[in-house]
Amino acid sequence: MIKFAIYGKGGIGKSTVACNISAALAEKGLRVMQIGCDPKADSTALLRGDKHIPTVLDRIREKGGDMQLCDMVFENENGIVCVEAGGPVPGLGCAGRGIINALEKLEAMGAYDVFKPDVVIYDVLGDVVCGGFSMPMRKGFADKVFVVTSGEKMSRYAAGNICLAVENFKGRGYAALGGIILNRRNVKNEDALVQNLADDFDTKIIGRIDRCEEIQLAEEKAAPVIAVCPDCAVSKQLKELADVIYSGFGGA
């Protein structure tokens, strides 16, 4: 089973990237599970036509010990398994602690054994990398972390913090840094700025995604761009990114 996490600053497009990677790997015939680790619970929206699904934390609050996997784990029409960890009641509780509780609940209930995914993708908010937000990096969860950034200053700053956290945690047997994904915003010297970031952490830019109308069109249709515009240039970029990530784990 291949397990990796995609981190990035809120709004940088990490969930769009994650959903398209999930869809691309599913097209290869792989069984994919995507787990959203963002209190907004919108990680898998493009995979389920923007339809609401109950989060793990919702179900814990509603059902307690009576909950079953079918209450919080949902398959889309293409067989992609969608899970949203969720967050605390607004103003109450800790979002990081919520992620810990949700992932521990999925593991305790045998979600990975029941659904038997070939690939597990954790989509994680990366504005803060502490407590529960580092949970997917821990041993037994993701084996690699990929960081989505643009050339914008705050995006690079957040990406740098994520990369630093991965470096600091690696001595504990946590996930390794797998590379940086450049989601272009067409800022000046963007490629060079992000290349400098990659060089700082001795890693590579493993994919470059162009800013384009096709992505916006697909999001309006609440679907991955590789499904809405399969032959466009950005779909090719996303499919190539999925191939790079999969081959990095020894997949063909």
Structure tokens at 96: 């990081």
- Which residues participate in catalysis according to the annotation? 9, 14, 40, 127
Q: Specify the pTM.
A: 0.95
Cα 3 to Cα 27, 52, 142, 214, distances in angstroms: 18, 25, 5, 29
Contact 74, 53 (CB under 8 A): yes
Structural domains of the chain sorted by starting position, each given as residue range(s) with its CATH number in brackets: 2-248 (3.40.50.300)
CB atoms within 10 A of CB 209: 21
pLDDT at 177: 96
pLDDT in tens, the chain (252 residues): 999 999 999 999 999 999 999 999 999 999 999 999 988 889 999 999 999 899 998 888 888 778 889 999 999 999 999 999 987 666 666 777 778 888 988 999 999 999 999 999 999 988 877 677 888 988 889 999 999 999 999 999 999 999 999 998 877 888 999 999 999 999 999 999 999 999 999 999 999 999 999 999 999 999 999 999 999 999 999 999 999 999 999 866
* Rounded distance between C-alpha atoms, residue 235 and residue 69, angstroms: 33
Structure tokens at 79: 């067989």
Longest CA span, the chain: 54
pLDDT at 182: 98
* Rounded distance between C-alpha atoms, residue 17 and residue 166, angstroms: 20
pLDDT at 211: 95
pLDDT at 93: 63
Please, what sign has the CA dihedral across residues 88, 141, 244, 23?
A: negative
pLDDT at 102: 87
Contact 44, 53 (CB under 8 A): yes
* Rounded distance between C-alpha atoms, residue 51 and residue 3, angstroms: 25
Structure tokens at 19: 């959903």
pLDDT at 89: 67
Residue 100, sorted as left (phi over 0), alpha (psi -120 to 50) or beta, turns out to be alpha
Residues 6+ away with beta carbon under 8 Å from 19: 34, 43, 44, 45, 46, 47, 224
